[in-house]
């Protein structure tokens, strides 16, 4: 008999709840632990992750995982197809007694896991791992899910959180089991021309260590400055579980203790609050799965969005004529990551200046973001669109010029990504259309912000009244 650990978005061999439970179980009975990954054909089709930089990053993470397992005498068993068929098949082939996996909270994953559960019954064990606080662990006094971030965070903050488990995991050689090899980098589902961050546990831990050693203490000041590398860049690692959230949180707690004064302590606390945002949006997706397709606030279902393919395309290509918007959009498709402040500016521009349905933008982000996560992306988009959990949503309309002046004062970020504007003097960098002779290669604004603002306020007011 054997014990299976099914890896999904937990591609690591340290502080991994289900993997630890599977190894303990196998050890007690002297069984072999079989590490499994399924290349889920539904997730890798062209409408979802197939062909995205995120899929390429995941492929690299799988190579790294397999390499580490091999160094420890095991290897990754991989098969492609529908997990609801493949997992029971591997169970039958390997004579597995039980299957362990970490919970994934998206509607798709829950549906998938229910199908596997139906096939395996009580031989399928799901554990909480990806969050510090699982959705069932937190509720309002009325026993309902929190729908507003600030009170959520207050309660979340005080709930004791598990420390990382530092036990080393030991593996043993596998019996003969059919396994596909990890797809080649030329496979169109995993091909990319981007220069991706290294996808390994070691790289994840190093990125955390670098951040905790210094930048976290200035996070409060630097995190909004577009040209400063002031954030952790941990998002792809947390997305695929190359880094344990408990390890990240414990490191931040150490930093909190080490912080020399109030300002640096506040910076660390602000970073921990971002981890709370990650948990909040995952809980929202779990409790209100309709957000994956529609507005969190259903009253906005009647909002009249504009169908404007040309404007949508200009936004995607970073050709709106608003330099800071275009810089963000080009950073996205040229690197697979976008600064959080730029995510807020570009999403506000699409939904409020162009009045284009947030779902079109959400899809585009999911196609390009290496950290693309259904809950965080959806939460971010609905926050910007004003259709989400936020209490005072609709009159928040970012002025792209004001944002640009505030968060990229000398235009360094703009010049880096919008190279046509590299030589524009700083006094015109946020508004090149005001120059006597703007650079010919750069388009004029596709919309007048003041007029667009009025149009949006009117569209939202119809719903409010
Ligand atoms: C429209 C929009 C879409 C977004 N889409 C995603 C996405 O698909 N995946 C994703 O991980 N984040 C998303 N975010 C949140 C945020 O922009 C990124 O997490 C952050 O920019 C990643 O960089 P970092 O790791 O350096 O973050 P840091 O500032 O160092 O934050 C640390 C970690 O906290 C989490 N986090 C930070 N901010 C948020 C937030 N607002 N919501 C949820 N989690 C957060 C991330 O896991 C991040 O790695 C989105 C934000 C917006 C406004």
Domain boundaries, the chain: 2-129, 202-287, 298-464
- Write the CATH number of the domain with boundaries 298-464: 1.10.579.10
Q: What is the pLDDT of residue 395?
A: 75
d(CA 82, CA 427): 56
Q: Atom 18 in ligand 1: which residue has the minimum CA distance?
A: 340
| Per-residue DSSP letter, 303 | -
Q: What does the pLDDT read at residue 391?
A: 64
What is the CA(157)–ligand 1 centre distance, in A? 19
Q: How far is the CA of 74 from the centre of ligand 1 (A)?
A: 34
CA 340 – ligand 1 centroid, Å: 6
Diameter over CA atoms, the chain: 79
Q: What is the pLDDT of residue 258?
A: 97
Q: What are phi and psi of 79, to 5 degrees?
A: -140, 155
| Chain centre to alpha carbon of residue 254 | 25
Q: Identify the residue whose C-alpha is closest to ligand 1 atom 31.
A: 274
Task: Count Cβ atoms below 10 Å from residue 10 Cβ, excluding itself.
Answer: 25
At residue 46, the pLDDT reads 77
Ligand 1 in reach of 340 Cβ (< 6 A) = yes
Q: Which residues have CB under 8 Å from 92's CB, separation 6+?
A: none
Residue 263 neighbours by CB under 8 Å, 6+ apart: 220
Is 113 close to ligand 1, i.e. is its CB under 6 Å away? no
| Distance separating alpha carbons of residues 385 and 67, to the nearest angstrom | 43
Ligand 1 pocket member 233 (CB < 6 A): yes
457 CA to centre of ligand 1 in angstroms: 28
What's the helix, strand, coil split of the chain in %, to 5? 55, 5, 40
Tell me, what's the pLDDT at 47?
Answer: 80
pLDDT for position 177 = 94
Write out residues in the chain with pLDDT < 50, as ranges: none
With a 6 Å cutoff on the Cβ, whether 380 touches ligand 1 is yes
Q: What pLDDT was estimated at residue 314?
A: 98
Cα–ligand 1 centroid distance for 239 (angstroms): 10
Q: Does the beta carbon of 238 lie inside 6 Å of ligand 1? A: yes
pLDDT computed for residue 393 by the predictor: 64
Q: For atom 49 of ligand 1, which residue has the closest CA?
A: 235
Looking at ligand 1, which residue's alpha carbon is closest to its atom 43? 278
- Mapped onto helix, strand or coil, the DSSP state of residue 272 is helix
Amino acid 259: pLDDT: 98
Which phi and psi angles does 192 have, rounded to 5°?
A: -155, 155
Q: Is 366 in the pocket of ligand 1 (CB under 6 A)?
A: no
Candidate CATH numbers 3.40.50.620, 2.60.120.260, 2.40.50.140, 1.25.40.80; the one for domain 202-287: 1.25.40.80
Strands (E), 8-117: 32-40, 77-81, 96-102
For ligand 1, say whether the CB of 369 is within 6 Å of any of its atoms.
Answer: yes
Best mutation site among 376, 378, 390, 393 for ligand 1, i.e. most ligand atoms within 8 A of its Cβ?
376
Q: Could you tell me if 305 and 356 are in contact, meaning their C-beta atoms sit under 8 angstroms apart?
A: yes
What is the distance of C-alpha 4 from the center of its chain? 27
**Residues annotated as catalytic (active site), given as ranges:** 274, 277, 305, 340, 358, 381
Point out which residues pair with 79 in neighbouring strands. Answer: 38
Residue-wise pLDDT for 286-329, tens only, equals 999 999 999 999 999 999 999 999 999 999 999 999 999 999 99
What residues form DSSP beta bridges with 125?
100
**Cα separation, 266 vs 279, whole angstroms:** 20
| Cβ proximity of 334 and 423 under 8 Å | no
Atom of ligand 1 nearest to the CA of 369: 8
Asked if residue 394 has its Cβ within 6 Å of ligand 1, the reply is: no
Helix (H) or strand (E) holding 124: strand 124-127
Q: Which fold has domain 2-129?
A: Rossmann fold (3.40.50)
């Amino acid at each position: 008999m054997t014990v299976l650990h099914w890896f999904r978005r937990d591609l690591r061999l340290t502080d991994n709840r289900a993997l630890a439970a599977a190894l303990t179980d196998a050890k007690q009975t002297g069984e072999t632990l079989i590490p499994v990954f399924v290349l889920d054909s539904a997730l890798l089709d062209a409408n979802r992750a197939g062909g995205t930089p995120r899929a390429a990053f995941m492929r690299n993470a799988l190579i790294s995982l397999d390499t580490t397992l091999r160094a420890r005498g095991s290897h990754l068993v991989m098969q492609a197809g529908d997990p609801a068929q493949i997992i029971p098949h591997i169970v039958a082939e390997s004579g597995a007694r039980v299957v362990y996996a970490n919970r994934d909270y998206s509607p798709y994953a829950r549906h998938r896991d229910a199908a596997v559960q139906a096939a395996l019954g009580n031989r399928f064990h799901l554990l909480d791992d990806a969050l510090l606080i699982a959705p069932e662990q937190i509720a309002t006094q009325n026993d309902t899910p929190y729908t507003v971030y600030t009170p959520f965070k207050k309660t979340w903050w005080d709930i004791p959180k598990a420390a990382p488990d530092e036990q080393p995991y030991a593996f043993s050689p596998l019996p003969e089991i059919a396994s596909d090899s990890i797809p080649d980098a030329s496979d169109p589902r995993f091909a990319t021309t981007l220069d991706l961050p290294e996808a390994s546990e070691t790289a994840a831990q190093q990125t955390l260590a670098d951040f905790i050693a210094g930048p976290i203490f200035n996070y409060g000041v630097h995190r909004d400055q577009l040209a400063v590398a002031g954030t952790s860049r941990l998002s792809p690692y947390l997305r695929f579980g190359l880094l344990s959230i408990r390890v990240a949180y414990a490191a931040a707690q150490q930093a909190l203790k080490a912080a020399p004064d109030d300002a640096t302590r506040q910076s660390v606390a602000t970073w921990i609050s971002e981890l709370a945002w990650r948990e909040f949006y995952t809980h929202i997706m779990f409790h209100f799965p309709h957000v994956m397709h529609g507005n969190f606030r259903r009253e906005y279902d009647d909002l009249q969005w504009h169908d404007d393919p040309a404007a949508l395309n200009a936004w995607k290509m970073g050709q709106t004529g608003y330099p800071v918007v275009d810089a963000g959009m080009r950073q996205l498709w040229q690197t697979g990551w976008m600064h959080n402040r730029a995510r807020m500016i570009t999403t506000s521009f699409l939904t409020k200046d162009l009045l284009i349905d947030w779902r079109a933008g959400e899809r585009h982000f999911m196609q390009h973001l290496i950290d693309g996560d259904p809950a965080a992306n959806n939460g971010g988009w609905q926050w910007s669109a004003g259709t989400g959990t936020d209490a005072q949503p609709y009159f928040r309309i970012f002025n792209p010029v004001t944002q640009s002046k505030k968060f990229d004062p000398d235009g360094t970020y703009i010049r880096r990504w919008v190279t046509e504007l590299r030589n524009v003097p700083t006094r015109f960098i946020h508004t090149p259309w005001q120059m006597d002779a703007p650079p010919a290669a750069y388009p004029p604004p596709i919309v007048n912000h003041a007029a667009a603002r009025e149009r949006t306020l009117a569209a939202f007011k119809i719903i409010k009244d």
